[in-house]
Amino acid sequence: MSIVTIFGATGNQGGSVASTILSSPELKQKYKVRAITRDPSKASAQALASAGAELVQADLNNASSLQKAVEGSYAVFAITDFWSLMSKDAEVKQGRNIAKAAFAAGVKHLIWSSLPHATKLTAGKLTGIPHFDSKAEVEEYIEEKKLGTGTKASYFMPGTFMSNLGTMINPGQDGVPTIAGPLDPETGRYPWIDIRADTGKYVVGILEAGPEKADGARVQAVGEWLNPNETVRKLSEQEGKTINFASVPSEVYKGFLPPAIAEELTQTMELMGQYHYYGVGAEKYQEENDKWLLKGSSKVGLKEYAEKNGPLVKG
């Protein structure tokens, strides 16, 4: 039985990977889940243990603890949390630490939760999205340093989370529930994903493809591509009430946000509006990316997400 070590196993992405394996009798026979957590005593970690996972405590800033965490692993799913650090350099360091440990342990398949390098993708126009650039720079490091180690690497690149919709819908000036953003309502693109439901389908699909076939694969994980008008139309149908979209200038949008993250989130929206998140026209290649999905699985669309998790409009 091959050990699959999962970082962030009690979070959305890692938890999805763990549950995809642990809920499948077939996959559970092939893979032993090792769940990495900072606190094995918390309820979410104990729930994984009850489902058959091995719990291992590790600190992403402690190289020796990471070595022990990945020892004997066939595959590693690695993720870091920028928002708990609020530092590009700190996130890059943690990602590199995991990669170094994986290389040293002889891990066959490293799957890194990555994102596009926004600064490079936009030719220096959007330089204020460190939570994208940091993950991309870890990816670049892995690609450079994996050579000669025997480790193959793949990259899971999730779109924008449907779970953020609850905070995105707010009363407009006329009191009607509204999503606002610096996007054109027709040409902007939201790459929506149900991160809890669909991460595992992509990551375990990559795992099942094997390290040789999946080496270097950069998989854009999107449940449904929608422009802003399509987004609010589908949400209105599901919620049973009108939801509008308001296209607003970046400076106006920035004023809606907490100052500490205003610039970063505004530029992230501009990335969707002007560059379609992964690059202009990325939506045309979604079918090709979906070939990595776990066989027999299907993605969650926006209406299905809203049905399962609604009402999204509060009050």
236-293 confidence digits (pLDDT tens): 999 999 999 999 999 999 999 999 999 999 999 999 999 999 999 999 999 999 999 9
Q: Provide the pLDDT confidence category of residue 314 given band limits of 50, 70 and 90.
A: confident
Residue for token pair 């180690």? 149
* Residue 315 pLDDT exceeds 80: no
Report d(CA 21, CA 65) in Å as an integer: 25
pLDDT at residue number 38: 87
Q: Which of 103, 200, 109, 179 is nearest to 144 (CA)?
A: 103
The continuous run of DSSP H or E covering 155 comes out as strand 152-158
